Amino acid sequence: MHELEWGSEHQAIFKWLEHPDHPSGLICARAGTGKTTTLVAAYRQLRNQGHSPLVLTFSNSGRDTFIKRCRSHYPELPPPQAYTFDGYALRVFSQYSGRSRLRPRRLRPDSLANLIDLAMNEAIDILNGSLSEDELRIPRDSQSLAVLHQFIDNAKVSLSFNYPPFSLWGELDEEEDEYDVDDALIHLGLSHQRYRLFKRYENARERLEFLAPGDAAFDLLREPEIISKDLKQLGIQWVLVDEFHDTKPVHEQILRHMQAAGIRMLAVGDDAQDIYEWRGLTAFSAFKAWEAQSAPFGLSRSFRFGRPLDQIATRLIKPLGSPIEVRSKASHYTRPKLRKVVLEADTTAILEDWQASGRNLGECAILVREADASKPIEDALFKAGISYRMEGSRPYFLRQAALLCQALGYLASSKPIVHDSSDVDAFLALIQSPAWEISEEQISNFQKELISVDYENKPLYRLDWLPDAYAILKGLIPAPMAHLAFVRIKTTPLPLCLEELVDQLNLKPLVALSAPTARAAKARLQLFKTLITELGKTGPDALAKDWFKRRQRYQQFNKQRVVVSSVQQAKGREWVHVILPQLSDWVLREGADSANERRHFYVAITRAQEYLTLLANAQSLAQSPWLEEIGIK
Residue 180 or 574 with smaller CB distance to ligand ATP: 574
Non-local CB neighbours of 503 within 8 Å, separated by 6+ positions: none
Shortest separation between residue 566's beta carbon and ligand ATP, angstroms: 15
| Sign of torsion over alpha carbons 470, 475, 481, 484 | positive
Residue 35 or 524 with smaller CB distance to ligand ATP: 35
Is residue 32 part of an annotated ligand binding site?
Answer: yes
Instruction: Write the DSSP symbol of residue 477.
Output: S
| Sign of torsion over alpha carbons 353, 358, 360, 365 | negative
Is residue 298 part of an annotated ligand binding site?
Answer: no
Is residue 426 part of an annotated ligand binding site?
Answer: no
Shortest separation between residue 328's beta carbon and ligand ATP, angstroms: 11
Shortest separation between residue 36's beta carbon and ligand ATP, angstroms: 4
Q: Is 516 helix (H, G, I), strand (E, B) or coil?
A: coil
Q: Is 35 helix (H, G, I), strand (E, B) or coil?
A: helix
Shortest separation between residue 177's beta carbon and ligand ATP, angstroms: 35
CA–CA separation, 632 and 629 (whole Å):
8
CA–CA separation, 310 and 52 (whole Å):
36
CA–CA separation, 416 and 384 (whole Å):
30
CA–CA separation, 526 and 520 (whole Å):
10
Residue 66 or 201 with smaller CB distance to ligand ATP: 66
Long-range contacts of 109-117 (CB under 8 A, 24+ apart): 109/218, 109/221, 109/222, 109/253, 111/221, 111/253, 112/211, 112/212, 112/218, 112/221, 112/249, 112/250, 112/253, 115/207, 115/211, 115/249, 116/207, 116/208, 116/211, 116/212, 117/145
Shortest separation between residue 249's beta carbon and ligand ATP, angstroms: 22
Residue 195 or 602 with smaller CB distance to ligand ATP: 602
Shortest separation between residue 62's beta carbon and ligand ATP, angstroms: 8
CA–CA separation, 11 and 439 (whole Å):
60
Determine which helix (DSSP H) or strand (DSSP E) holds 388, and give its type and residue range.
strand 388-391
Shortest separation between residue 234's beta carbon and ligand ATP, angstroms: 26
Shortest separation between residue 449's beta carbon and ligand ATP, angstroms: 44
Residue 269 or 409 with smaller CB distance to ligand ATP: 269
Non-local CB neighbours of 25 within 8 Å, separated by 6+ positions: 13, 16, 17, 265, 266, 267, 294, 295, 296, 297
Is residue 402 part of an annotated ligand binding site?
Answer: no
Non-local CB neighbours of 221 within 8 Å, separated by 6+ positions: 109, 111, 112, 250, 253, 254, 257
Is residue 30 part of an annotated ligand binding site?
Answer: yes
Shortest separation between residue 87's beta carbon and ligand ATP, angstroms: 19
Residue 6 or 163 with smaller CB distance to ligand ATP: 6
Q: Is 242 helix (H, G, I), strand (E, B) or coil?
A: coil
Residue 32 or 80 with smaller CB distance to ligand ATP: 32
CA–CA separation, 182 and 290 (whole Å):
43
Is residue 12 part of an annotated ligand binding site?
Answer: no
Determine which helix (DSSP H) or strand (DSSP E) holds 368, and give its type and residue range.
strand 364-368
Is residue 321 part of an annotated ligand binding site?
Answer: no
Furthest CA-CA distance within the chain: 79
Long-range contacts of 496-500 (CB under 8 A, 24+ apart): 498/408, 498/532, 498/535, 498/536, 499/532
Residue 492 or 596 with smaller CB distance to ligand ATP: 596
Residues in the chain: 633
Contact call for residues 396 and 368 (beta carbons, < 8 A): no
Is residue 31 part of an annotated ligand binding site?
Answer: yes
Residue 4 or 384 with smaller CB distance to ligand ATP: 4
Residue 55 or 89 with smaller CB distance to ligand ATP: 55
CA–CA separation, 244 and 240 (whole Å):
10
Residue 28 or 157 with smaller CB distance to ligand ATP: 28
Around Cβ 618, how many Cβ atoms within 10 Å? 10
Where along the sequence are the contacts to ligand ATP (CB under 6 A)?
Answer: 4-6, 31-37, 270, 303-304, 572, 574, 606
Could you report how far apart the first and last alpha carbons of the chain are, in Å? 34
Non-local CB neighbours of 474 within 8 Å, separated by 6+ positions: 482, 485, 486
Kindly report the backbone phi and psi dihedral angles of residue 215, in degrees, each rounded to the nearest multiple of 5, phi listed first.
Answer: -85, 160
Residue 83 or 303 with smaller CB distance to ligand ATP: 303
| Nearest residue to ligand ATP, by Cβ distance, number only | 34
Non-local CB neighbours of 84 within 8 Å, separated by 6+ positions: 56, 57, 58, 59, 60, 62, 63
Tell me the binding residues for ATP: 29-36
List binding-site positions.
29-36
